[in-house]
Structure 1
Amino acid sequence: MAYDYSDRGKQPVVENIEGMTLENENYRTTIWTGDNLQVTVMTIQPGDDIGLEIHEGIDQFLRIEEGTGLCKMGPKEDELTFERKVKDDDAIFVPQNTWHNVENTGDKPLKLYTIYAGPDHVPGTVHKTHEDAKNDPNEH
């Protein structure tokens, strides 16, 4: 099925989020940005990760649709005291101001979607690869 991956934030939208997540081939595609919420779909290649990050004042929810990985969280960049394996259908809840990363430990792409409360990326952000995200001056 062909999905509309444009950022249609602030418009009413109904989507098959699982289908969009599984068909997405980009590292990150922002599909909806509102004033207090943002949704992206992500594909993390084997051996890659989301990248160690922190969202100041923003809670985050991630749902794994396909693949396996390792979720790490903690109060400091070098103190990731929480570690859990993640797989299909797992949900990850990241409290605001918490360092976190999700690594793809499997041999196939890790497919997930994430909800930021409030938005963390510029509306309409698309990063074809993790490297593109790292080189984006709008990313922290």
Structure 2
Amino acid sequence: MSKVDQSIVPIVREAMNNDAFRDEVMTGKECQVVLMSIRPGEEIGSEVHDDHDQILVFVEGNGQAVLDGQVREVGTNDLVFVHAGVEHNFINTGTRPLKLYTVYAPPEHPAGTRHESKDEAEGG
């Protein structure tokens, strides 16, 4: 399979079918694509990436984006750009999983990272 073939992914379908808290899709030299599924009542957890930007695209569900303390509602078809240095968290306030894909630039997780649950992602 060529490198080009490996670079084409039906990302919305993959995100909607993903049930893992975190599942790395593709990692390049300068960026990375990761699927996420946040269960009802769960959150990603407040964090700051000092040295990179993050883009999140929501494909199913609804919740809240908390960016530097400001809360905004987010849902299907929304894109959130998190600039480097901005404290952020995403909370599922709905009754079904909040599904999304996210792009880190540069990469945040080792290639092949998969965490079935938030507890597993936190090492619990």
TM-score interval (norm. to shorter): over 0.9
* Corresponding residue to 2:31 among 30, 37, 45: 37
C-alpha separation between the residues in 1 aligned to 2:11 and 2:111?
A: 18
* Corresponding residue to 1:61 among 47, 55, 58: 55
Deviation at 1:98?
1.0
C-alpha separation between the residues in 2 aligned to 1:24 and 1:87?
A: 17
* Corresponding residue to 1:22 among 1, 16, 26: 16
C-alpha separation between the residues in 1 aligned to 2:51 and 2:39?
A: 28
Deviation at 1:45?
0.1
1:131 pairs with 2:119: yes
Deviation at 1:111?
0.4
Deviation at 1:97?
1.1
C-alpha separation between the residues in 2 aligned to 1:130 and 1:56?
A: 22
1:85 pairs with 2:63: no
CA RMSD, aligned part only? Answer: 1.0
1:122 pairs with 2:116: no
Letter in 1 for 2:103: I
Percent of residue pairs identical:
38
Aligned to 1:3: none
Q: Tell me whether 11-20 or 63-72 shows the greater mean CA deviation.
A: 11-20
Aligned to 1:7: none
Aligned to 1:6: none
C-alpha separation between the residues in 2 aligned to 1:32 and 1:55?
A: 19
Aligned to 1:4: none
Unpaired segments ≥5 residues, structure 2: none
Unpaired segments ≥5 residues, structure 1: 1-10, 75-79
Letter in 2 for 1:131: D
Number of aligned residue pairs: 120
Aligned to 1:50: 44
Other structure's SS at 1:96 match:
coil
1:97 pairs with 2:91: no
TM-score, structure 2 normalization: 0.93
TM-score, structure 1 normalization: 0.83
C-alpha separation between the residues in 2 aligned to 1:40 and 1:18?
A: 12
